[in-house]
Amino acid sequence: MSSKESLSTVEKILQAAEELFAERGFDGTSVNLIAEKADVNKAMIYYHFKDKNDLINSMFERILREAEHYLKRAFAAHSDSGIEVSHLDRIEEELNFLSKRKRIISVMMMEALKGDEKDNYFFKCAERVFKHELKGFKSESGEIEENSSDRQRDLVYEFFTGFVPIIAFVVFNEKWCDYFKCDSDKAMEYFLESFRKTHLASNF
């Protein structure tokens, strides 16, 4: 099922690249190494992808689509059912979704930290989240927005005290527990408590 042999070539490449990029960074990973780990001939990588950049961009585009899909589903489900879902439950569900993709997210963050002029997929993802969470948030297209102070205020708040801590928890969880000798389940419990008492408790 999840064994290498049963996956398509493209899938094998993407999976290997994801693991290696997360482990060693994009520039620290050679195409040779990806081919080796994916158990695929190097030329096949250039058959399926224009170059190394095209490879990482495909990864990013895919997760963007997945996130879009997840958000639509999640918000639709929550408004369909009469049941009010608590913020904390939604966060747990979100953490679960994100944890499965934590390697790509790490890579996205590394690339977003660089100063070069590439597309910032980290911000793009955040934008998608805000579009669902903040009522009346629009961005797409060249439309000039009424960049009201209130919206800017909400954005800063949502990003730096909401989105960022969650993403940080996802990408640093494991390394954190190793370094500070903390049990993983405990860390999760403490994080949810912290998040509830800070971001979720504020009357923004």
Partner DNA sequence: GTCTATAGCAGGATAGAC
Partner DNA sequence: GTCTATCCTGCTATAGAC
- List, in order, residues 6 or more apart from 131 with CB less than 8 Å away: 71, 137, 138, 139
CB count within 10 Å of CB 200 equals 16
Q: What does 31 bind: a copy of itself, DNA, none (CB cut-off 5 to 8 Å by kind)? A: DNA
Q: How far is CA 114 from CA 50, 64, 77, 185, 196, in A?
A: 22, 19, 37, 32, 31
Residue 160-199 contact track with a copy of itself, rule CB under 8 A, x = bound? xx--xx--xx-xx--xx--xxxx---xx--xx-xxx-xxx
State yes or no: residue 5 binds a copy of itself (CB under 8 A). no
**Whose structure tokens read 């949502």?**
158
Q: What share of the chain is helix, strand, coil (3-state, %, to 5)?
A: 70, 0, 30
Q: What does 69 bind: a copy of itself, DNA, none (CB cut-off 5 to 8 Å by kind)? A: none
Task: Identify the H or E element spanning 67.
Answer: helix 52-80
Q: What does 191 bind: DNA, a copy of itself, none (CB cut-off 5 to 8 Å by kind)? A: a copy of itself
Residues 27-56 that bind a copy of itself (CB under 8 A): 27-28
CA distance 42 to 62: 22
Minimal CA–CA distance to 107: which of 60, 70, 68, 66? 60
Number of residues that bind a copy of itself (CB under 8 A): 54
To DNA, the closest distance from the beta carbon of 18 in angstroms equals 15
**One of 4, 11, 25, 30 touching DNA (CB under 7 A):** 30
Binding segment for DNA (CB under 7 A), chosen from 48-56, 58-66, 121-129, 165-173, is: 48-56
**One of 15, 29, 106, 173 touching DNA (CB under 7 A):** 29
**One of 120, 131, 132, 137 touching a copy of itself (CB under 8 A):** 120
Residues at the site binding DNA, with contacts judged by CB under 7 A: 9-10, 29-33, 40-44, 46-48, 51-53
